[in-house]
């Protein structure tokens, strides 16, 4: 288990993590979500003592990371797959880690086989593709056979087979009673993988709940009904006290009703249905709803602007002013600036051993 208690981190005037308290429990895959700049990576670095918190604590099974004698046997982490030594082979990268934590060398071959890198075990990692590097980082996290595993964007660079593999791997490890903590911006993948969610925004805890409850609490779910006898169906539902919203194209939308009840009601009155379906928002829609007020970096579509430019000189402005006064040698319109007649091959252009094309002479 990982326990965060009042975890806070400041970088100068920037409050990156704000009194964050939560527990990441064993036996499930816990997803860690938040917009860019929310403090996810900083939080994960503090869990591993790579950053010191300004205040608050993080404990791994009741102890600080720095108090663990052989930490890779307790917690494995993938934060940056590029941290491997490019001049070493995949095997030797892992062997160094194994030796530093008294892990048997046999585990190196085992985890390389697990992640599908046995065939390139003796190749230098600097030649690996992004996906291969990601697999090597996952192998490093698995090396000590730890009870706790942390992954930051684990599917980066993986092909569809690799994504399917890492998803099943995390689920399998969680079913063994391990603690799995994973951060990702791929909502569709997180929806298929995570059982529980911790969501932060601007460093603060926004949600600590199950996947199903998070979607239910932050989105609208309804039943969609479509019938060639729309008016009869609408009147029937009104008579039963059911609130109906007409959505166009002959479609009715009903909140807070079970589709089974609505289907049985239509059947008893002989109304033909062309559609009876439960509509549920995606994790992405629920996430956007929850974090709408916590997004720090907003993109703008064509034609939009992000506001006036900041006060003070703009890029290149001082150079342009100086060039206009003739103070930049070689600037257009100033002494020493190249002109069209200075271009090689132009009329009158000369140089050591170079003649004008077709003049039959040799310039010295």
CA 93, 94, 98, 104: dihedral to nearest 10 degrees? -130
Q: What pLDDT, on a 0 to 100 scale, did the predictor assign at position 351? A: 44
Q: Give the pLDDT of residue 26.
A: 93
User: Looking at the chain, how many residues does it have?
Assistant: 364
Spatial distance between the Cα atoms of 310 and 263, rounded to a whole number of angstroms = 59
Q: Is the Cα dihedral 55, 57, 199, 156 positive or negative?
A: positive
Angle at 133 between CA 50 and CA 191, to 5 degrees: 80
Q: Write a three-state SS string for 84-102.
A: CCCCCEHHHHHHHHHHHCC
Q: Give per-10-residue mean pLDDT for the chain (364 aa).
A: 93 91 94 87 92 92 90 91 84 92 93 91 87 90 94 86 90 94 85 90 88 78 89 91 85 88 92 88 73 62 53 53 60 50 43 42 42
Closest CA to 291 of 115, 33, 111, 17: 33
CA–CA distance, 143 with 208 (Å, rounded to integer): 30
Q: What is the rounded distance in angstroms from the CA atom of residue 357 to the CA atom of residue 359?
A: 6
- What pLDDT does residue 345 have? 44
CA distances from 128 to 80, 84, 343 (A): 14, 11, 45
Q: Enter the tokens of residue 358.
A: 């077709």
Of 10, 41, 24, the closest CA to residue 184 belongs to 41
Q: Residue 22, Cβ neighbours under 10 Å: how many?
A: 18
The contacts of residue 64 (CB under 8 Å, 6+ apart) are 49, 57, 58
Provide the sign of the torsion angle of the four alpha carbons 57, 58, 63, 68, taken in this order. Answer: negative
Structure tokens at 265: 């009601």
Predicted pLDDT at 350: 41
Domains contained in the chain, CATH given: 2-216 (3.40.50.300), 218-283 (3.30.70.250)
Q: What is the pLDDT at residue 301?
A: 56
Find the helix or strand (DSSP H, E) in which 211 lies. Answer: helix 211-217
How would you classify residue 337: left for phi > 0, otherwise alpha for psi between -120 and 50, otherwise beta?
A: beta
pTM equals 0.70
pLDDT for residue 286: 73
Alpha-carbon distances of 210 from 54, 70, 178, 189, rounded to whole Å: 29, 32, 17, 16
């Amino acid at each position: 288990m990982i326990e965060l208690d009042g975890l806070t981190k400041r970088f100068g005037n920037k409050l990156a993590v704000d009194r964050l308290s939560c527990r990441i429990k064993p036996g499930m895959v816990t997803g860690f979500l938040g917009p860019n700049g929310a403090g996810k990576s900083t939080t994960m670095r503090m869990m591993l003592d790579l950053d010191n918190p300004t205040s608050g604590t993080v404990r791994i099974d009741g102890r600080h990371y720095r108090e663990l004698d052989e930490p890779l046997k307790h917690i494995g982490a993938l934060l940056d797959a590029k941290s491997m030594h490019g001049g070493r082979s995949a095997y030797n990268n892992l062997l160094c880690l194994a030796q530093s934590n008294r892990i048997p060398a046999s585990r190196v071959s085992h985890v390389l086989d697990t992640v599908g890198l046995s065939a390139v075990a003796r190749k230098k990692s600097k030649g690996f593709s992004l996906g291969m590097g990601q697999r090597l980082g996952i192998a490093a996290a698995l090396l000590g056979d730890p009870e706790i595993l942390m992954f930051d964007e684990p599917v980066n660079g993986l092909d569809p087979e690799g994504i399917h593999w890492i998803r099943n791997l995390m689920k399998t490890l969680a079913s063994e009673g391990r603690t799995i903590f994973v951060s990702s911006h791929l909502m569709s993948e997180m929806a298929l993988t995570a059982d529980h969610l911790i969501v932060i925004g601007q460093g603060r805890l926004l949600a600590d709940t199950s996947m199903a409850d998070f979607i239910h609490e932050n989105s609208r779910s309804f039943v969609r009904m479509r019938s060639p006898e729309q008016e009869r169906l609408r009147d029937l539902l009104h008579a039963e006290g059911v609130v109906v919203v007409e959505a166009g194209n002959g479609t009715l939308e009903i909140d807070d009703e079970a589709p089974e009840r609505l289907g049985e009601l239509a059947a008893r009155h002989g109304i033909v249905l062309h559609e009876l379906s439960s509509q549920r928002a995606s994790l992405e829609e629920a996430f956007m709803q929850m974090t709408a007020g916590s997004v720090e970096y907003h993109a703008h579509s064509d034609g939009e602007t992000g506001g006036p430019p900041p006060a003070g000189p703009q890029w290149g402005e001082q150079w342009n002013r100086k060039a206009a006064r003739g103070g930049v040698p070689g600037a257009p319109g100033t002494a020493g600036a190249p002109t069209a007649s200075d271009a090689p091959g132009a009329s009158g252009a000369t140089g050591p051993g170079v003649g004008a094309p077709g003049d039959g002479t040799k310039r010295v």
